[in-house]
Copies of this chain bind each other. A is one copy, B any other.
Amino acid sequence: MEPKTNITELNVSDFAMAFEELTRIFIRMPSIEKLSFTTLSVLHTLSLRSPMRLSELIATEQVTQSAMTQLVIRLERDGLVERRPDPSDGRAVLVRITPQGAKVIDSRRTERIMQIGKLMERLTPEERTSIASALPALTRLAELGND
C-alpha cells in the first residue's frame, strides 16, 4: 500500500498548489457583478440546485443560521432570490434563484470563460490537449467531492 500512497501524495501536493494558484486567478477574473463572496456562492449554489431550504444553504455555505437568514432576506429585497414557505414542513422556507439572480452567475461565468479562453490560446496545442485529456478525471474528482 505504501508505494501507492507515496505516488498519490506527490501528485496531490503539486496538484493542490497549481490549483490554489489557478483559483486565486480565476476567482477574480470577472469584472462585472462584483458581489460578496458568500452572496456569489449562495447564488451559484442555487443556480445548481433550486429551491433549497435555508438549513441546507447554512450547511453548504458554512455560515451561521442567522447570517444566512439575513443574507437571503437582503437577496430577496434585491430581487436575486425568492422565498416561499415549504409546503412539506411548516417551519421551513424554500429559497429559489430568480432570473435576475441567475443572470449574475451566468454573466460572470461567460466573462470568465472568455478570459480563460484567451489564456488557453497562449498554450501550445500539446498543453491544451493534456488539459482536455484530464477533463474527465477532473470532472470525476468533482463528483467524488460532492458525495
Q: Which residues of chain A have a CB within 8 Å of any CB of chain B? A: 8-9, 11-16, 18-28, 34, 36-38, 41, 44-45, 62, 109, 112-113, 116-117, 119-123, 126-128, 130-142, 144-146
* A133–B15 CA distance with the chains assembled, in angstroms: 11
* A37–B141 CA distance with the chains assembled, in angstroms: 24
A140 touching B113 in the complex, CB below 8 Å, given contacts A12-B120, A62-B34, A134-B133: no
* A145–B28 CA distance with the chains assembled, in angstroms: 11
Task: Please tell me how many copies of the chain the complex holds.
Answer: 2
CB contacts (< 8 Å) of A28 on chain B: these are 62
* A9–B113 CA distance with the chains assembled, in angstroms: 8
Across the interface, do B22 and A141 meet the contact criterion of CB distance under 8 Å? Answer: yes
Across the interface, do A137 and B142 meet the contact criterion of CB distance under 8 Å? Answer: no
* A128–B141 CA distance with the chains assembled, in angstroms: 10
* A112–B145 CA distance with the chains assembled, in angstroms: 12
